[in-house]
């Protein structure tokens, strides 16, 4: 069984207008070395109920992990190793970096300690749009950061944001063109999501235009050899994110730090647990747990942060995560994990969706069609199971 660790680093230079991730402007949160001390305590607490094993992946996400001193990132990798969560030469270690937060010296420290994948928050190469959403960098700085990564022949991924207010199809095409030219091996296009009434909800491309924008991205990337392997992820073959795949193929992972989520298999249908979103509360909780013995997250965390899944929840998760992948839901895996009547019910639902041309069946897998991709929310709704339904 593969196993990975997500480490949340909640520091940003400034807050982007659209972002509601658990992250703070760096001056409004405790210093990074103190936060990393809390992470060490959390590792010590969690290791009591999770057997040491070598890690397939580590993912430093944020926030802006590249903002804190690089030796702190290294210290986290070493601390995990000291509890037996060791890395191997083939462990995928990803760090999210924002343009203009990395230099030769930082990069060398990362590379000397096994970091081998860089996820660059480029978003767009249009300076007007970057400014509009309060990004702290401009396109020139993004290109400089990419020059540095390319000079070391590194594996990097891009996040691209689309359907921004006043963004044009031509502008988006230009973003995708630059992303490809710059040598990214993996591209994650995200459609801007903001609640109604948010300042960025005005002047946005309408739904049909958003679909058209996604199609343009998909067509341009496919023409250049990228393969869509998940709803919003494209990669050159062999460069898929192994860490994100853990989330979609029912493998366990730990989430460390503010707001981070974990999924492990210790109860019959799997267990989810998660950390609090506010830094003050997170700090309080970690300090309160110090020195205590725990044999399970159930004994460790308040019930509001812990869920031993019931079968209907595990089934919903299984269907949603596997249908996010273009290779789709593996019928054999479904039958292995769930009782016969459940597996039959899911397949009969999928056959109904096949009639609507939202899903297709091929080689033992059910996957989304082109129409199903556009209407994926409806497909997921059909594959959501409530208590007592199965
Ligand atoms: C939480 S950020 C962390 C990475 C890095 N700090 C950055 O901003 O580049 C991860 C990605 O989520 C996406 N994201 C954040 N808020 C979003 C929103 N409201 N709608 C769509 N995508 C969003 C952005 O594209 C971003 O690259
Ligand atoms: S830099 Fe990334 S994590 Fe920070 S506020 Fe902006 S989008 Fe959110």
**Centre of ligand 1 from the C-alpha of residue 214, in Å:** 17
Residues 239 and 316 in one domain: no
Query: How many independent structural domains does the chain possess?
Result: 2
The span from the CA of 299 to the CA of 190, in Å, is: 37
Residues 241 and 99 in one domain: yes
Asked if residue 24 has its Cβ within 6 Å of ligand 1, the reply is no
Residue 329 belongs to what domain range?
312-382
Query: In the prediction, which pLDDT does 297 show?
Result: 82
Q: At 59, is the secondary structure helix, strand, or coil?
A: strand
Give the list of residues 6+ apart from residue 366 with CB closer than 8 angstroms, or none.
Answer: 323, 328, 329, 331, 347, 350, 359, 360
| 69 occurs within a structural domain | yes
**Cis peptide bond prior to 31, omega within 30° of 0:** no
**Centre of ligand 1 from the C-alpha of residue 88, in Å:** 29
Query: In the prediction, which pLDDT does 201 show?
Result: 94
| 260 occurs within a structural domain | no
Residues 60 and 184 in one domain: yes
Residues 164 and 23 in one domain: yes
Which residue shows structure tokens 């230099």?
Answer: 103
Query: Of 246, 269, 303, which marks where a domain is finished?
Result: 246
Query: Of 197, 228, 246, which marks where a domain is finished?
Result: 246
Asked if residue 63 has its Cβ within 6 Å of ligand 2, the reply is yes
| 15 occurs within a structural domain | yes
Asked if residue 10 has its Cβ within 6 Å of ligand 2, the reply is no
Query: In the prediction, which pLDDT does 390 show?
Result: 83
Low-confidence ranges of the chain (pLDDT < 70): none
Structure pTM? Answer: 0.97
| 285 occurs within a structural domain | no
Residues 57 and 199 in one domain: yes
The DSSP code for 100 is: T
Residues 343 and 211 in one domain: no
Reported as half-sphere exposure (CB side, CA atoms, 13 A), residue 379 has a value of 30
| 83 occurs within a structural domain | yes
Residues 200 and 345 in one domain: no
**Centre of ligand 1 from the C-alpha of residue 389, in Å:** 36
Residues 221 and 331 in one domain: no
Q: Which of 141, 133, 130 is nearest to 101 (CA)?
A: 141
Q: Which of 84, 87, 85 is nearest to 117 (CA)?
A: 87
Q: Closest-lying ligand to the alpha carbon of 98?
A: 1
Residues 19 and 122 in one domain: yes
| CA–centroid distance for 380 within its chain | 19
Q: Closest-lying ligand to the alpha carbon of 133?
A: 2
pLDDT in tens, 105-150: 999 999 999 999 999 999 999 999 999 999 999 999 999 999 999 9
Query: In the prediction, which pLDDT does 7 show?
Result: 98
Residues 223 and 333 in one domain: no
Tell which phi-psi region holds residue 197, choosing left (phi > 0), alpha (psi between -120 and 50) or beta: left
| 103 occurs within a structural domain | yes
Give the list of residues 6+ apart from residue 339 with CB closer than 8 angstroms, or none.
Answer: none
Q: Is residue 359 within 8 Å of 366, Cβ to Cβ? A: yes
Which residue's C-alpha comes closest to atom 6 of ligand 2? Answer: 16
Q: Is residue 293 within 8 Å of 367, Cβ to Cβ? A: no
- H runs (alpha helix) in 16-168: 32-46, 70-82, 104-112, 127-132, 139-151
Taking the alpha carbons at both ends of the chain, their separation in whole angstroms is 27
CATH of the domain at 20: 3.20.20.70
Residues 318 and 238 in one domain: no
Asked if residue 123 has its Cβ within 6 Å of ligand 1, the reply is yes
Q: What's the Rg (C-alpha) of the chain?
A: 21
> Which atom, in ligand 2's list, is nearest to the CA of 121?
2
**Centre of ligand 2 from the C-alpha of residue 27, in Å:** 15
236 exposure class (CB count in 10 Å sphere: 0-12, 13-18, 19+):
middle
Which residue's C-alpha comes closest to atom 16 of ligand 1? Answer: 19
Asked if residue 64 has its Cβ within 6 Å of ligand 2, the reply is yes
Q: At 67, is the secondary structure helix, strand, or coil?
A: helix
> Which atom, in ligand 1's list, is nearest to the CA of 135?
8
| 351 occurs within a structural domain | yes
Query: Of 246, 271, 291, which marks where a domain is finished?
Result: 246
- H runs (alpha helix) in 239-330: 242-248, 279-289, 297-300, 311-324
The span from the CA of 356 to the CA of 381, in Å, is: 15
| 262 occurs within a structural domain | no
**Centre of ligand 2 from the C-alpha of residue 63, in Å:** 5
């Amino acid at each position: 069984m593969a196993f990975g660790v997500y480490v949340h680093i909640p520091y940003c230079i400034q807050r982007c207008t659209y972002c509601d991730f658990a992250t703070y402007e760096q001056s409004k949160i405790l210093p990074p070395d103190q936060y990393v001390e809390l992470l060490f305590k959390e590792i010590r607490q969690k290791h009591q109920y999770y057997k040491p094993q070598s890690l397939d992946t580590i993912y430093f996400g944020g926030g802006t992990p590249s903002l804190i001193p690089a030796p702190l990132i290294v210290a986290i990798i070493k601390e995990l190793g000291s509890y037996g969560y060791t890395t191997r030469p083939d462990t995928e270690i990803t760090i999210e970096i924002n343009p203009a937060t990395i230099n030769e010296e930082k990069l060398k420290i990362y590379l000397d300690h096994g970091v081998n994948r860089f996820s660059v928050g480029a978003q767009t190469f249009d300076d007007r749009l970057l400014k509009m959403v309060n990004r702290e960098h401009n396109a020139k700085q993004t290109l400089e950061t990419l020059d540095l990564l390319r000079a070391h022949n590194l594996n990097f991924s891009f996040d691209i944001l689309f359907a921004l207010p006043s963004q044009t199809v031509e502008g988006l095409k230009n973003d995708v063109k630059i992303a490809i030219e710059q040598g990214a091996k993996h591209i994650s296009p995200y459609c801007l999501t903001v609640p109604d009434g948010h300042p960025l909800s005005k002047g946005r491309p309408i739904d049909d235009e958003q679909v058209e924008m996604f199609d343009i991205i998909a067509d341009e990337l496919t023409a250049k050899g990228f393969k869509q392997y998940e709803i919003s992820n494209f990669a050159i073959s062999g460069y898929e994110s192994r860490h994100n795949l853990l989330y979609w193929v029912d493998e366990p992972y730990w989430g460390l730090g503010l707001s981070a989520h974990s999924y492990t298999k210790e109860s019959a249908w799997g267990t989810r647990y998660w950390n609090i979103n506010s830094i003050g509360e997170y700090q309080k909780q970690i300090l309160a747990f110090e020195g205590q013995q725990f044999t399970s997250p159930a004994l460790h965390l308040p019930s509001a942060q812990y869920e031993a899944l019931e079968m209907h929840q595990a089934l919903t998760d299984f269907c949603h995560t596997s249908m996010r992948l273009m290779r789709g839901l593996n019928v054999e895996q479904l039958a292995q994990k769930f009782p016969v009547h459940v597996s039959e019910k899911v397949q009969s639902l999928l056959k109904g969706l096949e009639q609507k041309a939202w899903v297709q069946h091929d080689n033992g897998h059910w996957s989304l069609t082109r129409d199903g991709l556009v209407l994926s929310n409806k497909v997921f709704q059909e594959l959501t199971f409530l208590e007592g339904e199965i």
